[in-house]
Amino acid sequence: MLDLNDIAVFVQVVRHGSFAEAGRRLGLPPNTVSRRIQQLEAQLGTRLLQRSTRKLTLTGAGQAFHEQCAEAVDGLVEAGQALITGSQEPSGRVRVAATADFFDFFPMAWVADFLAAYPLVRVEFVLSDAKADLIAEQIDIAFRGGALADSGYVARQLLGPRTDGLVASPAYLAARGTPATLGELADHDCVTPAHPSGRTTWRLTGPGGKEEEVQVGGRFSGNTAQALRKAAIAGLGIALLPPAMGRLDVEAGRLVPVLPQYQRTGHGLSVVYPSRKHLPRAVSAFIGMVTQKLREEEALPDVWRARMT
């Protein structure tokens, strides 16, 4: 029969990325942790972790085993904590991965409200434009836009697709002229995410629902939507932005719509998490808060919604 303590040790090793750190958390010497993992692998008849001098990596069998047992171990720990505290109130850390400019769109006040509602929970954000490895980086929740790869994670869509539109500053258009056709964009400076070729292909839907494309480039590129917005306001070129991001700038005259008959259907927003069955209460509560807040925002008039970004 498998030793449940060995399984719990395995989950901690995966979560913390090393025998030494798992041992520190569990109060065990690293060699004891390593031996417990070896015992578990011997009982299962398969290797769960690939060892190297730099890091530990889950094998395919280890990944599958972790997905099946991690939430059960967490459930036992949570049940014990509930008995100790005499409460079913959410508690513990929620580690969240999101893009570098996440808080340009997501009001910090929502996080403050959540922490006020759940005083035993702490939230830790990991902000980066690189896609996080939920297991290796101990991420509970990741916010992701665009089409999701089949990663084995659980995904829940929070926002459906949005349409992006072209905008530029009045100063840029006065100096360079306003393009009258999609093809003319190729002769303009456009601010886009960086690409090795220096050119980016924009695929836009025009009149009649026909999709057209144009290759564009410019002298400025950036890796966040806010950087592109600010570059457009500064007169560095034409940008393709979500309407909610540029709406206040258009109202204030800082930006002007360009070729408004053309739009790009952008991707929605999803929340991704590694557990397949039940979630820790703190994680479930955080996802519930985000879902509720976004639904409330969707019900607001557009001009109010824009002011929340």
Same-domain pairing of 247 and 207: yes
Q: Is residue 144 located within the same domain as residue 293?
A: yes
Domain that holds residue 100: 92-158+268-307
User: According to the model, what pLDDT value does residue 178 have?
Assistant: 96
256 and 287 part of one domain: no
**By C-alpha distance, which of 292, 291, 274 is closest to 135?**
274
Number of domains in the chain: 3
CATH of the domain at 116: 3.40.190.10
Kindly state the tokens that stand for 44. Answer: 């299962």
**Same domain for 214 and 127:** no
Taking CA 306 as the corner, what is the angle to CA 301 and CA 309, rounded to the nearest 5 degrees? 135
Tell me the pTM. Answer: 0.53
Structure tokens belonging to residue 14: 């995966």
| pLDDT given at position 50 | 86
Q: Which DSSP state fits 300? A: S
Are 110 and 237 part of one and the same domain? Answer: no
Q: Give per-10-residue mean pLDDT for the chain (309 aa).
A: 82 85 85 90 89 80 85 70 62 88 83 94 89 81 70 69 85 96 95 86 88 92 87 96 78 93 78 71 90 68 35
CATH assignment at residue 236: 3.40.190.290
Q: Identify the domain boundary among 85, 101, 133.
A: 85
> 20 and 74: one domain?
yes
Phi, psi angles (nearest 5°) of residue 257 = -60, 140
Q: Are residues 261 and 272 in the same domain?
A: no
